[in-house]
């Protein structure tokens, strides 16, 4: 898929978290689902400089199709902030959701936006409530159902 098409495809997952003088900071809300025809999710997790990173996303894998890309930073898993969790605990959380056949609800940010994000976070200028609310999650669930329906 050409890079412009990939960029357009990823827009459906993004939402502006805040805008400052350097422009908007986007987050992605991705629902990672098991695919019975695929072994695993097609990604690796990496821990670097206190960041839980998505690494080595295989093209056409469940991770790729859910919108995950290399160097996305995981902020939330299933509405739980993972920023202060150990990497082992994050892997255990994701594995437990996978084993229970539950979709894995992820909120991510680009690694390049982390410094701006942390500056805003330290100043208590980020309101996660609208993003983590049931209404926001319900919209994404309906969008995912509709997309799946049309692809079937």
Cα–Cα distance between 78 and 2 in angstroms, integer? 31
Q: Which helix (H) or strand (E) is 138 found in, with range?
A: helix 134-151
Model's pTM, two decimal places? 0.81
Q: Is the pLDDT of residue 7 over 70?
A: no
- The class level of CATH for 3-151 reads mainly beta
Mean pLDDT calculated for residue range 142-151: 40
pLDDT score, position 102 = 82
Q: Name the burial class of residue 84, with classes exposed (0-12), middle (13-18) and buried (19+) by CB atoms within 10 angstroms of its CB.
A: exposed
- The gap from C-alpha 25 to its chain's centroid, in whole angstroms, comes to 14
In this prediction, residue 152 carries a pLDDT of: 32
Q: Residues 14-52: pLDDT tens digits?
A: 888 989 999 999 999 999 999 989 989 999 999 999 999
**Strand 23-32 to strand 44-48: parallel, antiparallel, or no bridges (unpaired)?**
unpaired
């Amino acid at each position: 898929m050409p890079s412009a098409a990939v960029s357009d495809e990823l827009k459906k997952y993004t939402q502006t978290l805040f805008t400052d003088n350097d422009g908007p900071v986007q987050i992605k809300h991705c629902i990672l689902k098991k695919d019975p025809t695929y072994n695993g999710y097609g990604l690796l997790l990496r821990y670097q400089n206190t960041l839980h990173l998505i690494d080595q996303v295989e093209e056409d894998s469940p991770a790729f199709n859910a919108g995950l890309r290399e160097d996305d930073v995981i902020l939330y898993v299933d509405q739980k902030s993972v920023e202060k969790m150990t990497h082992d605990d994050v892997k255990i959380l994701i594995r437990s959701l996978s084993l229970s056949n539950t979709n894995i609800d992820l909120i991510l940010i680009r690694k390049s936006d982390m410094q701006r994000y942390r500056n805003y976070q330290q100043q208590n200028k980020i309101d996660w409530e609208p993003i983590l609310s049931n209404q926001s999650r319900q919209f994404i669930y309906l969008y995912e159902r509709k997309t799946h329906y049309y692809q079937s």
